[in-house]
Chain A
Amino acid sequence: QQQVKQSPQSLIVQKGGISIINCAYENTAFDYFPWYQQFPGKGPALLIAIRPDVSEKKEGRFTISFNKSAKQFSLHIMDSQPGDSATYFCAARGGAIQGAQKLVFGQGTRLTINP
C-alpha cells in the first residue's frame, strides 16, 4: 500500500507563479520528511527536508509547510522558474535498520513551468 500519497501527478505553472505540491501520510511514526528533485536523465537529489517538530522550513524559494495534526506536508516553490521544471518526490523516513534509513516515497509530481 502507498504510505505517502502525493498530488497532483502533474502541474503546469506560469513563470513567476507559485507551485504547490501536497503529500499526506498515515504512519505517525514517520519522523523526517524530505523532498527530492529529479531532472530528466538524472537521479533524484535532495532538495529540502523537515522534521515534524517545526511547521515550516524555508530555503531560498523553496518552503516546506508541515501540518502534524492533519498528517500532511507540502512543497511551495515561490517565483517559479523554467529551471524548476522537474519531477518532485516527497518522502518520509519509514524506519531504520543498522543505521540504514528507509525512505517511503510518494508517487511523484511532474512540474512544468511555462516561460
Chain B
Amino acid sequence: DVKVTQSSRYLVKRTGEKVFLECVQDMDHENMFWYRQDPGLGLRLIYFSYDVKMKEKGDIPEGYSVSREKKERFSLILESASTNQTSMYLCASSTGGSGSYEQYFGPGTRLTVT
C-alpha cells in the first residue's frame, strides 16, 4: 500500500523560529513535492525534487528551502518562520517517467506561527 507520512500533524511555532517539516515515502518514488494549502487558493507548489540532492523551485519558494539527502525523505525548512506561513503543508510523491502523473499525498501538517 502506497504511503507518504509527515512528521507532525499539528505544529505551533513562534515568529523567527527555524522550522523543519519532514516527509517520508515508502514507494521508492523519484519525485517528491511540497505544497501549501490555503482556503480559496487551492494547493500551491513550493518546491519539488526529482532525485536525491536535486531540487527545483515551485510557484511560491520565497521563505522556504528544502533538503533531499535520501531518496525516501524530503524536508521543508522555514528559515525564519513568519505569521504569513501559517498554513497546511502537504507532501506528495510520484514515480518518474513520462507516463506517471499521479501524485500520492501525505495527511498534511497544520502549522501555526504565532
The reply to whether B51 and A42 form a contact with Cβ atoms under 8 Å apart is no
Asked if B30 is at the interface of the complex by the 8 Å CB criterion, the answer is: yes
Number of interface residues of A (CB under 8 A): 29
Residues from chain A with Cβ under 8 Å of B106 in the complex:
43
Q: Among A68-76, A77-85, A91-99, which stretch is in contact with chain B?
A: A91-99
The reply to whether A96 and B98 form a contact with Cβ atoms under 8 Å apart is yes
The reply to whether B92 and A100 form a contact with Cβ atoms under 8 Å apart is no
The reply to whether B97 and A99 form a contact with Cβ atoms under 8 Å apart is yes
Checking B30, B101, B108 against A49 with a beta-carbon cut-off of 8 angstroms, the contacting residue is B101
Complex CA distance for A30 and B40, rounded to whole angstroms: 22
CB distance from B22 to the nearest CB of A (A): 15
Complex CA distance for A46 and B48, rounded to whole angstroms: 19
Residues from chain A with Cβ under 8 Å of B39 in the complex:
108
The reply to whether A99 and B105 form a contact with Cβ atoms under 8 Å apart is no
Residues from chain B with Cβ under 8 Å of A106 in the complex:
42
Residues from chain A with Cβ under 8 Å of B48 in the complex:
97, 100, 102
Asked if A32 is at the interface of the complex by the 8 Å CB criterion, the answer is: yes
- In this complex, what residue of A is CB-closest to B93? A100
- In this complex, what residue of A is CB-closest to B6? A43
CB contact under 8 A between A41 and B42, given known A49-B101, A98-B51: no
Asked if B31 is at the interface of the complex by the 8 Å CB criterion, the answer is: yes
CB contact under 8 A between A108 and B42, given known A46-B103, A100-B50, A100-B56: yes
Given A43-B4, A93-B101, A104-B45, 19 new contacts (CB under 8 A): A41-B107, A43-B92, A43-B105, A89-B43, A98-B96, A99-B30, A99-B50, A99-B97, A100-B94, A101-B31, A101-B94, A102-B45, A103-B45, A103-B101, A105-B35, A105-B42, A105-B43, A108-B39, A108-B40
